[in-house]
Structure 1
Amino acid sequence: MLTKVYGSAVFGIEATTVVVEVNIDKGIGYHLVGLPDNAIKESNFRIAAALLNNGYKVPGKKITINMAPADLRKEGSAYDLPIALGILAASGQIKSDLLEHYLIMGELSLDGGLQAVKGALPIALNARDQGFKGLIMPKENAKEAAIVKELEVYGVDELIKVIHFFDKDVPLERFHVDPDSLFDENQFHSDNDFADVKGQESIKRCMEIAAAGGHNIIMIGPPGAGKTMLAKRLPSILPPMTLNEALETTKIHSVVGKLASTGLIHQRPFRSPHHTISDVALVGGGSYPQPGEISLSHNGVLFLDELPEFKRSVLEVLRQPLEDREVTISRARFTITYPSSFMLVASMNPSPSGYFHDPDNLMNSSASEIQRYLSRISGPLLDRIDIHIEVTPVPFEKLSEERKGEGSAAIRKRVVAAREIQTGRFCEESTIHYNAQMNTKQIRKYCDLESHALKMLQQAMERLKLSARAYDRILKVSRTIADLAQEENISSEHILEAIQYRSLDREGWLG
């Protein structure tokens, strides 16, 4: 007898329906085909023990299982449940008339318990798009999958409950989640607030500008100046995520199994990988491709602390994702594209010793050592960082103050107002949403300078010996500064402030 059970395979961050075809005929043997990996090939042992411990059995006949489409590689242990149900239905141990209406996934324990699977959200979206009535999966994944509207989601913790649902019409517990209310309740909560930062008003201003325009930023300063503390608070002033952004971000985290119990990511991610990370771990890939850190920080912040300590090959793979806002992983038989629209926030010491150039300091590094240290970061990578800012230590007077600084909520209001201006400005641009994404054409269109401001920019570039690559970056940042000031035109004051934020473009910069 032939029976079909429907599952799903996650490819990139999208899911594809997989038909598990089980045919039982005369003879002896167990044949599993359709490009399964080792975890699926081992499923027969788990399934046999789980069925036996729940009063059922794998029939002693010829069992052929095909996972279609047969040319798509299947990975993971999440196919245990659909295969087990297919064997029971094909052998006549349970009824099969309802199986075609549900998409089913789950890993089996030997006692029949169901273990969590990866990619629940993409699987649920696929089930809805393919017109299935419902989705049956482990209870741990139900809250995540229930985010998808117009789909019945059932979370189950035991195999026997699924069997009774199909064979004895015993109802399962359906999960209900209102993504809108869940999203609204949690998106503004943050443990890190700019009110905790003492002093550093100029750096907080830089952070506000970076958040308002989506600009990448690098902070240069000695140890203990507060670079990491400031970076961790940047997500608290970014505009709230839209529901579509939250769903897209959740899909990426779902694929790698890194979701919180809420089921929906409602705050912008903040990722801070160690400097020993490999290029594959950062950009994504591997034998079975998975999203890397740059995709896990999609719609959020990627913080690279002590930037020169990262391997040069690792830093160079950032160049294309920073430009294209996505990363493409190509292999001989397939190509996967992961979204990676993130803000890059980097920090570094100005020298190997950790301090700015000071001839009177005995621990000071030589000019050649500093130049060699700075050269670890390539020009093309720096070209994609709009704001360079020097961070100096906070004096004791500021540290001992009891008065708190301006909080993240107040800063976020100004950032949101500036982003609304940019949304209106780029309403006809499909790929441009904020100032940092502008290309040369948009810069010429939206960053037109009056003659006085243009002359001032020319003088500054000649006097400070700024490099040519600084020109477009200064215009982008000055456009954001004008937006924060709610001004339509870029003035000389905006240009002057933007020029301050290009420290590493000065020729011969030594801190």
Structure 2
Amino acid sequence: MLVKVYGSAVFGVEATTITVEVNVATGIGYHLVGLPDNAIKESSFRIAAALQNNSYKFPGKKITINMAPADLRKEGSAYDLTLALGILAASNQIKATDIGDFLIMGELSLDGSLQPIKGALPIAIKAKEEGYKGFILPIQNVKEAAIVSGLEVYGVSNILEVINYFDKGTPLERTIIDTKKEFYNNLDHLEHDFADVKGQESIKRCMEIAAAGGHNIILIGPPGAGKTMLAKRLPSILPPMTLQEALETTKIHSVVGKLKEHVGLMSQRPFRSPHHTISDVALVGGGAYPQPGEISLSHNGVLFLDELPEFKRGVLEVMRQPLEDREVTISRAKFTVTYPSSFMLVASMNPSPSGFFNDPGSPMSSSPGEMQRYLSKISGPLLDRIDIHIEVTPVPFEKLSEERTGEKSVDIRKRVTQARQLQTERFKDNEKVHYNAQMSVKQISEYCKLEDSSKALLKSAMERLNLSARAYDRILKVSRTIADLSESENIQGSHISEAIQYRSLDREGWLG
């Protein structure tokens, strides 16, 4: 008897429906075809044990299973439940007249319980697009899939529940989530808050500017100055995610199985902080069967690279194109996948190998030559893509011991959101530009016009501080953001002078 059951495979962040054709006939043998990987080939052992432990049997007949389309590589253990139900139905152990109306996925344990799968959200979206009645999957992933409205989603913990549903009509419990309500309820649950940061008012101001304009930023300072603490709090002042951004971000995390159990929609912007030993494939994505990397997991959020010069130069260089294009394309001989990667880059570094710079009280010091070699690990093209450089100094005891708390992230976020709204209106006719950091040279000349006095100030500063040519556009972009924060239509001299302060690494002779 031939039975067709439906599963799904995920490529990139999109799903493709897989038809599992199971034929049980007279004879002996088990033949699984359709380019399955080793995890799928081993499924027969898991299925046999799971069926036996739930009073069913693995038929001793000739079983032929085809996973169509047969020229598409399938991988992972999430097809166990699909295959098991197909075998039971084809061998007439259960009645399954409407099994073709459902998409069924899940990894089996030997006792028949189900393990979570990857990519539940994109699979659910595809199931709705193709008109399936429902989606049956492990209960751990049910909230993730139930985000998709208009699709019946059933979370199960054991294969016996699914068997009884098709064979005996025992109802399954449908999971229904009010996506908008859940999303908006969790928007303001901030894990970190700028109110916890003592002192560092000038750095907080700098972070606010970076958040308002979407500018990449590098923090330079000795150990213990608070660079990591400040970076971790940046997502708390970014504008709240829109529902569309939340769906995009959740899809990527779903594909790599990074969503927490029983979590539906991600409502907080992601913050990723990879170790400096990371490989280029782990950072941008890839592998034999491509998976999203850290830059895609940071989509719509923040990628924090601590101790930037310690990263391998080749790893940093592969970020240059994604920083410009806001997406990364991974090509293989038979297919190409594209992952979104629109993120804010926040980097931190010590000013010297010892970590201390111009500190007469430090027992360690580095020669100018050592410092130059250390800083030269960061290439010019990468620095070109970082708009703001700011020096972070240690917080004095008087500030640390203060009982007064700083300004809360919620209050800073209001100003940032207001500035972003101005930019959204400004760039409404351009689909590729959403905030000031994305402006091209043409848009800079259009939206960053200076009065004669401001031009003279910028010219004087560039000559006196020996600022490089690449600093010019960055200063104009940042000054436009500062003007937006103060709700000024024109860029004033004070905005230019503040923006000039944020180009530390461009100053000739910065090493002393």
The TM-score with structure 1 as length reference comes to 0.98
Q: Say yes or no: does 1:44 pair with 2:44.
A: yes
CA displacement at 1:143 relative to structure 2: 1.0
Show CA shifts across 1:222-243 (max 9, x none): 1111111111111110100111
Q: Distance in 2 between matches of 1:12 and 1:417?
A: 34
Shift of 1:471: 1.0
Aligned to 2:155, what secondary structure does the other structure show? Answer: strand
State the match for 1:193 in structure 2.
193
Separation in structure 2 between the aligned mates of residue 397 and residue 30 of structure 1, nearest angstrom: 75
In 2, are the aligned partners of 1:357 and 1:365 still within 8 Å (CA)? no
Match of 1:456, SS state, is helix
Residue in 1 that maps onto 2:136: 136
For the residues of structure 1 that align with 2:406 and 2:362, how far apart are their CA atoms?
33
SS class of match (1:410): helix
Match of 1:27 in 2: 27
Counterpart for residue 246 of structure 2: 246
Tell me which residue corresponds to 1:75: 75
Q: Following the alignment from structure 1 to structure 2, what is the Cα–Cα distance between the partners of residues 393 and 72?
A: 56
**What is the SS of the residue equivalent to 1:153?**
strand
Shift of 1:359: 7.2
TM-superposed deviation, 1:96: 2.8
Deviates more, 1:22-31 or 1:41-50: 22-31
Q: Which runs of 5+ in 2 are unaligned?
A: none
Give the gaps of 5 or more residues in structure 1. Answer: none
1:330 aligns with 2:367: no
Distance 2:452 2:95 in 1: 81
Matched, 1:305 2:306: yes
SS at structure 2 position matched to 1:174: coil
Structure 2 counterpart of 1:232: 232
Deviation for aligned residue 1:271: 0.8
The one-character-per-residue Cα deviations of 1:40-60 (angstroms, maximum 9, x if unpaired) are 000111111111222222222
- Deviation readout 1:439-493 (Å, 9 max, x if unpaired): 1122122112222212221221111111111111111101100100011111111
Measure the CA separation in 2 of the matches of 1:22 and 1:191. 49
Q: Percent identity?
A: 77
**Alignment-derived partner of residue 116 in structure 1:** 116
Cα distance in structure 2, aligned partners of 1:475 and 1:130: 49
Q: How does 1:127-206 map to 2 (within 5 A)?
A: 127-206=127-206
Which residues of 2 match residues 376-415 of structure 1 at below 5 A? 376-415=377-416
Letter in 1 for 2:506: D
Deviation sequence 1:247-299 (CA, Å, 0-9, x none): 11111111111112322211011111111111111111112221111111111
* Partner of residue 348, structure 1: 349
Q: Does 1:490 align with 2:503?
A: no
State how far apart, in whole Å, the 2-side matches of 1:186 and 1:502 are.
Answer: 37
Deviations 1:93-143 (A, max 9, x none): 222320111000011111211111111111111111111010000111111
Against the structure 1 CA distance between its residues 352 and 55, is the aligned structure 2 distance closer, same or farther, given a 3 Å change threshold?
Answer: same
Using the TM superposition, name which of 9-18 and 282-291 deviates more.
282-291
State the partner residue of 1:477: 478
The equivalences for 1:89-128 within 5 A come to: 89-128=89-128
CA gap 1:68/1:114 in 2 versus in 1, 3 angstroms: same
Q: Does the C-alpha gap of structure 1 residues 162 and 449 become closer, same or farther in structure 2, counting only changes over 3 Å?
A: same
Residue matched to 1:429: 430
Aligned counterparts of 1:47 and 1:400: Cα–Cα separation in 2: 62
Q: Distance in 2 between matches of 1:285 and 1:361?
A: 43
Measured in 2, the distance between the counterparts of 1:397 and 1:82 equals 64
Residue 24 (structure 1) shift? 1.7
Tell me the distance in 2 between the aligned counterparts of 1:406 and 1:386: 25
Give aligned pairs, total: 511
Structure 1 residue 358 displacement after superposition: 5.4
Residue in 1 aligned with 2:12?
12
Q: 1:319 — aligned with what?
A: 320
